[in-house]
Chain A
Amino acid sequence: MILNDYLILSTIIFVIGLIGVLRRKNLIMLFFATEIMLNAVNIALAAISKFHGDLTGQMFAFFIIAIAASEVAIGLGLLILWFKRRNSIDLDTLQSMEG
C-alpha cells in the first residue's frame, strides 16, 4: 500500500462526512457527520506521519481524538437541554432569527 491509497480513503470518508453535514437535518446525525470528517483527517495525518517517519502527525491525531471527545460531550449535553425545551432536534426548528 502506498500513501496515495490512504489519502484516497481519507478523502472518500471526508466527502461522506461533508455530504452528511449538508444533507442531514437531525442534530445527532450532524454530530456523527462531523466525527466522520474528523476521523478522515486523522487517517490522513497518521498515514502521512508513518510514511514520512515523523511522529508529530500521529501525536496530532491523538489530540484531535481527545478534543473531539470533549466536544461531543459538551455538544450532547447542549443537545439534551435543547430537546427538553423544544421537544425536537430538527435543524429547521433551531431558528430564532430572521435574516
Chain B
Amino acid sequence: MEGFLYTALFAPLVGALFAAMFGNSPRKIWVGVVNSTLLGLAMVASLILMFHIFGTGTNVHVKMLDWIVIGNVDIPFGFVADQVSVVMMVVVTLVSTMVHIHSIGYMDHDKGFNRFFSYLSAFVFSMMILVMSDNFAGLFIGWEGVGLCSWLLIGFWYHKEDQEKTSDMYNSPFSTLSPHSSISPGYAANEAFIINRVADLGMLVGLFLIFWNIGSLQYDVVFAQVGGLDHGLVVAIAIFLFIGAMGKSAQFPFNQWLANAMEGPTPVSALIHAATMVTAGVYLLVRANEIFTVVPEVGYFIACLGAFVAIFAASQALVATNMKKIIAFSTLSQLGYMFVAAGLGAYWVALFHLATHAFFKSVLFLGAGNVMHAMNDQINIKKMGGLKKYMPHTALIMTIASVALAGIFPLAGFFSKDLILEAAFQSHAYILWFILWVTAGLTAFYSFRLVMYVFHGEENWSHNKEDENYQHPHETYPFVIAAMTPLAILAISAGWFKAEFVEMTTKMLPTLHEAGIHHPSSAVFWTLVAVTTLMAGGGIAYAVLKFNKKGSYHSDKMKETFVYKLLANQYYMPHLIENVINKPYLAMSKFSWKEVDLKVIDTIVDGIAKIVYTTGEESRAMQTGNLSKALKWMTLGVVILLAVAVAAGNLK
C-alpha cells in the first residue's frame, strides 16, 4: 500500500517538474495530456487507498526520511493515509484531475500553456503534502506551498494593466457589478499572498505554543497530551490555529482576497475553491479536532463566525453581476456552513459538506469557464442570456450543480447541508440555525438567478459582427464535457454514500452523539427537512418565476437604495481596506523611507564612510616613501605601544 501512497503524493510533483521543463516553449498539447495522466494516476492510487482503508479499517503510515533531528527535536517527513486524510486525498485528486483535463481545453489559446500546467500540478502537490503529512510541520510546508502556488496562478495573467479606481459603481474594480474582478491580476495575487501571510503568523504562533509545551509536532503525540495542558493555554493554541485557518479559508475579516482571486484563469478558481486551497482551513480544524474539542467556547465562536460569514457572503451574491464572483461568494458562504459544523463539534459533517461541496462547486466553476470561453471572456451575466440553445451540455451540468448547491433532495448538497442545519438545531443554537436557514434560501435564489441570466431568457448579445457586443457562442470540446461529467455525477450522487462515509470517518472523528448532538425525534427531523427544503425550493421558485415574468430581478428604483449599493460594493470592505490599511501603510512606508531611511540611516552610514575617507586622506602624508621617515614613524609607534602596555600593566 505504501507504493500507492507515494504515487498519490509524488505523481503531481513529477508532472509539475515535467511541465516546468517546457515552461518557456510554445504550447505543447501533450504536456497537458501527460500532466492529466499523472494526476489521474494519483487519483487511482488515492481511490485504491480509500477502498483499502475502508475495507480493513487500518491506516497506511510511512516515515519517508528524517528531516530535523537536533537533540530532542525529531521532525520526520512522515505521511499518513487515514480515514480523514484519505477522504481529502480522493476529493483533491479527483477534482484536480478533471480540472487538469478541462484546462487543456480552456487554456487552448494561451501562450503560457505549459507554464500553467506546471503551476497547476505544483498546487496539487502542495495540497497533497498538506493533507497527508503526519505532523504539523509538514502540514505547514504544504500550507505555504499552497499559498505560493495560488499566488503564481491568480497572477497568471500578470501583464494586465491596473484598473482605475472610480466611484462609478458599474466600472469600479471594488464593485461586483463591474467587469473587473479586482484592480489587476497582479494586485489580486499579492493581496491573496499577503493576507495569507498575516494569518499564517497566527498559525505559526499556534505551532510554537504546541511545540514549547508538548515538545513534538506529531499529530498522535500532540493529541494524546493536549488534554493535560492548562486550559488557558489550549484556548490560546486553538485561537491561533484558527487564525491560520481563517486566512486560508477566507473567513471574515480575511475574506476579501477570495473574491478578488477571480482574476485568475477559471480552472484555477475551480481548483482553489473546490480542492486545493480554501478547504485547507476546514481540514486543519477537522484534523486538530482533539484540540478544539477541549475548548468548546472557541468552537462556539468559530460556529458564530461561520454563520456570520455564510449570510454575509450570500447577501453579496444577491446583486452581483460578475459571474465568477457570484460563485466565489457562494463558496465563502458554504465555507461558513462548514465552520458552523466544525465549531459545534460535528467534525465529520464538516468534512462531508467539504467533499460534496467540492464536487458541485468545481463543476460550477468549470461550467462558468466554458461560458466565458464561449463568450470571449465576458463576465457580466446581464450580457449573456439564452445560451441554453448553444451550450446544452454546459447548461445541463451547471443546472445540476446549482440544484445540488441549493440543497434539493436527492442531490449531494441536500444531505450535507441538511445535516449541518440539523446539528445546529440539535445543539440548541437556534439563532445559528435560523441564519443558516435564511442563507439556504438566499443560496438557492442567487444560484438560479445566475442560471436564469446566463442560459435562459433573451439574448443580450448580438449576432451582428459589426456590433460591439458581438458574440459567437459555441459548445466547448467534447472531452471537456467528458471531464465535467464525473464531477456532475458525483454532485448528484455523493450524498447517497452518507452511511459509508459515517462508518469510515467516525473511526477517527467524534460521532454526533459524542459531541452532544443527539439524533432528533422523527417528528422534529421531518419538520426540519420540510422547512429547509421549502426554503431552498422557495428560493429557486422565486428566481425562476420572477425571471420568467419580468426578465430581471432588481428594479431601477431599488438600484438607488443604500442597501443595493452596500451589497454591490461588497459592504465597502475594499474601500475600508484601501483607506484604513493600505493608504496609512503607504504613508507610513513613505515616511520611513524619506524621513527615517534617507535622513537617519543613510546619514549614519555615509558618516562612517566619510570618517574612513578623511582619516585616510589625512594620514596619507605619513607615507612619503622615504625610509628614514618610515623608521621614525615606526619608532614612534613602538614607543606608543610600549607606553600603552606599561600604562595598562600599572592599571591592573
A residues lining the B interface (CB < 8 Å): 18, 21-22, 25, 91-92, 94-99
A99 touches B627 (CB 8 A): no
A91 touches B626 (CB 8 A): yes
Chain B residue, CB-CB nearest to A25: B628
- Closest chain A CB from B618 CB (angstroms): 13
- Closest chain A CB from B240 CB (angstroms): 65
Chain A residue, CB-CB nearest to B623: A99
B residues lining the A interface (CB < 8 Å): 620-628, 631-632, 635
- Closest chain B CB from A63 CB (angstroms): 22
Cα-based distance from A18 to B626 in the complex (angstroms)? 18
- Closest chain B CB from A17 CB (angstroms): 11
- Give the total number of A-B pairs whose CB atoms are below 8 A apart: 28
Q: Which residues of B contact A18 (CB under 8 A)?
A: 635
A-B contact pairs, 26 of them (CB 8 A): A18-B635, A21-B631, A21-B635, A22-B628, A22-B631, A22-B632, A22-B635, A25-B628, A91-B626, A91-B627, A91-B628, A92-B626, A92-B628, A94-B627, A95-B624, A95-B625, A95-B627, A96-B625, A97-B625, A98-B624, A98-B625, A99-B620, A99-B622, A99-B623, A99-B624, A99-B625
Q: Which residues of A contact B621 (CB under 8 A)?
A: 99
Q: Which residues of B contact A21 (CB under 8 A)?
A: 631, 635
- Closest chain A CB from B631 CB (angstroms): 6
Chain B residue, CB-CB nearest to A98: B625
Cα-based distance from A91 to B628 in the complex (angstroms)? 7
Q: Rank and list the top 3 A-B pairs by shortest CB-CB distance, nearest first.
A: A99-B623, A97-B625, A99-B624
Q: Which residues of B contact A99 (CB under 8 A)?
A: 620-625
- Closest chain B CB from A78 CB (angstroms): 13
- Closest chain A CB from B616 CB (angstroms): 12
Q: Which residues of B contact A25 (CB under 8 A)?
A: 628
Cα-based distance from A99 to B629 in the complex (angstroms)? 12
- Closest chain A CB from B622 CB (angstroms): 7
Q: Which residues of A contact B620 (CB under 8 A)?
A: 99
Cα-based distance from A21 to B633 in the complex (angstroms)? 12
Chain A residue, CB-CB nearest to B636: A22
Q: Which residues of A contact B624 (CB under 8 A)?
A: 95, 98-99
Q: Which residues of A contact B625 (CB under 8 A)?
A: 95-99
Cα-based distance from A92 to B626 in the complex (angstroms)? 6
Cα-based distance from A25 to B629 in the complex (angstroms)? 10
Cα-based distance from A62 to B495 in the complex (angstroms)? 104
Q: Which residues of B contact A96 (CB under 8 A)?
A: 625
- Closest chain B CB from A49 CB (angstroms): 23
- Closest chain B CB from A86 CB (angstroms): 14
- Closest chain B CB from A21 CB (angstroms): 6
Chain B residue, CB-CB nearest to A96: B625
- Closest chain A CB from B294 CB (angstroms): 78
Cα-based distance from A10 to B635 in the complex (angstroms)? 18
- Closest chain B CB from A9 CB (angstroms): 20
Chain A residue, CB-CB nearest to B628: A91
Chain B residue, CB-CB nearest to A94: B627
Cα-based distance from A21 to B636 in the complex (angstroms)? 13
- Closest chain B CB from A29 CB (angstroms): 11
- Greatest chain B CB density within 10 A among A21, A94, A95, A99 is at A99
Cα-based distance from A63 to B292 in the complex (angstroms)? 84
Known: A22-B635, A98-B624, A98-B625; 10 extra A-B contacts, CB below 8 A, are A18-B635, A94-B627, A95-B624, A95-B625, A95-B626, A96-B625, A97-B625, A99-B621, A99-B623, A99-B624
Cα-based distance from A98 to B623 in the complex (angstroms)? 8
Chain A residue, CB-CB nearest to B632: A22
Q: Which residues of A contact B622 (CB under 8 A)?
A: 99
Cα-based distance from A99 to B620 in the complex (angstroms)? 7
Q: Which residues of B contact A92 (CB under 8 A)?
A: 626, 628
- Closest chain B CB from A70 CB (angstroms): 21
- Closest chain B CB from A20 CB (angstroms): 11
Cα-based distance from A81 to B351 in the complex (angstroms)? 96
Chain B residue, CB-CB nearest to A21: B631
Cα-based distance from A3 to B628 in the complex (angstroms)? 34
Cα-based distance from A95 to B624 in the complex (angstroms)? 9
Chain B residue, CB-CB nearest to A27: B627
Cα-based distance from A18 to B638 in the complex (angstroms)? 12
- Closest chain B CB from A50 CB (angstroms): 26
- Greatest chain A CB density within 10 A among B620, B621, B628, B631 is at B628
Cα-based distance from A18 to B639 in the complex (angstroms)? 12
Cα-based distance from A92 to B628 in the complex (angstroms)? 7
Q: Which residues of A contact B627 (CB under 8 A)?
A: 91, 94-95
Cα-based distance from A84 to B575 in the complex (angstroms)? 90
